[in-house]
Amino acid sequence: MQRMGMVIGVRPEKIAEYKRLHAAVWPEVLDMISACNIRNYTIFLREPENLLFSCWDYVGTDFEADMARMRAHEPTQRWWALTDPCQQPLASREAGEHWARMEEVFHVD
DSSP state of 1: -
Instruction: Kindly tell me the burial class for residue 86, based on how many C-beta atoms sit within 10 Å of its own C-beta (0-12, 13-18, 19 or more).
Output: buried
| 35 Cβ neighbours under 8 A, 6+ residues apart | 69
pLDDT at 79: 98
> Which domain range does residue 63 map to?
2-101
Q: Give me the number of domains the chain comprises.
A: 1
Tell me if 107 is assigned to some domain. Answer: no
Whether the CB-CB separation of 56 and 40 falls below 8 Å is answered with yes
| 97 Cβ neighbours under 8 A, 6+ residues apart | 89
CATH number at residue 54: 3.30.70.100
Tell me if 77 is assigned to some domain. Answer: yes
pLDDT at 109: 84
Q: What are the pLDDT digits (tens) for 55-89? A: 999 999 999 999 999 999 999 999 999 999 999 99
What percentage of the chain has pLDDT greater than the value 90? 97
Q: What are the pLDDT digits (tens) for 20-33? A: 999 999 999 999 99
